Amino acid sequence: MLRPTFALLALSLVLAGCGGFRDSRVNPMNWFGGSTEESALGPLTLENDNRVLVGSVSSLAIERTSTGALVRAEAQMPGIGWWDVELVPENEGRPVDGVLSYRFLAAAPRNREARAAGGSQTLVAAAPVSEFTLEQVSTIVVRGAESSRSVRR
């Protein structure tokens, strides 16, 4: 009779000691704190972007790569000296209803002589698109101020 009583007492002490394990640092469930709700930062805006939309997009091509594709667009601009050319993704680069859209931006020439110079300048810009994003896309659109071009699958 003494043995079962001693075993029951030892088991009770062991189980009582395990209650503190829940709050100890040894418990992996306590390694990270609980989750808390954080406020959203909102979309990133480029307030100091002085670039303008190109007049019209003259060509648009999609070139396959080993990691997805490269969206390549061209535009004709009057005068020379246009710089800082870029295809800027709209909607943070996420397709909306299967449409991935870009704005074709360029910075105007810094001096008046370059703007007044005769002729035109061909601007070329490209943007990579991952294979994961391409799986969700049926149309790619590049927008200019006067026209836009699109490519469908």
Q: What pLDDT digit, counting tens, does each position of 96-150 carry?
A: 999 999 999 999 888 776 555 667 889 999 999 999 999 999 999 999 999 999 9
Q: What pLDDT digit, counting tens, does each position of 6-51 carry?
A: 778 777 777 666 666 666 666 666 655 555 555 555 555 556 778 9
pLDDT at 87: 97
Cβ-contact 113, 121 below 8 angstroms:
no
pTM beyond 0.85: the answer is no
Give Cα separations from 11 to 6, 21, 44 (angstroms).
Answer: 9, 16, 60
| Domain boundaries along the sequence of the chain | 52-152
